[in-house]
Amino acid sequence: MIVVRWACGGRQVWTPRDQPEDWIAAKLWVRCADFHLALGVAHLLKTHLVVEPFVIAMMRQLSSSHPLYKLLKPHFRYESHLYCRCPWSMSSAFCWN
């Protein structure tokens, strides 16, 4: 049997034997929580925020004629646009076109 358990107050356990609306709402909460965890941890943290220090270091330390800069610029181009839109980002001051 599949059971959804919610830790906040009120009723805490839902099963398929409950009212259809309650069971659908419980499954929706689980799917939303899974989506936010996947987006926040797996995608944002493990991709964008890991790359950000390298983008900053490249823009600060390498000249535009450096071979490594030329190699990495196409890959970091979209990362920097993402950071320019985020006010909490460390690299929001280093935006390029």
The answer as to whether 71 is a domain residue is yes
The answer as to whether 90 is a domain residue is no
Domain count within the chain = 1
Tell me what pLDDT residue 47 has: 81
The answer as to whether 97 is a domain residue is no
pTM, two decimals, is: 0.52
Mean pLDDT by 10 residues, the chain (97 residues): 67 83 88 86 80 86 94 82 57 50
Residue 13 pairs with which residues in a beta bridge? 5
Domain hosting 41: range is: 4-84
Tell me what pLDDT residue 83 has: 57
Query: How far is it, in rounded angstroms, from Cα 58 to Cα 66?
Result: 10
DSSP string spanning 58-87?
A: HHHHS-TTSHHHHHHHHHHHHHHHHHHT-T
DSSP string spanning 21-53?
A: HHHHHHHHHHHHHHHHHIIIIIIIIIIIHHHHH
Tell me what pLDDT residue 97 has: 44
The answer as to whether 53 is a domain residue is yes
The answer as to whether 52 is a domain residue is yes
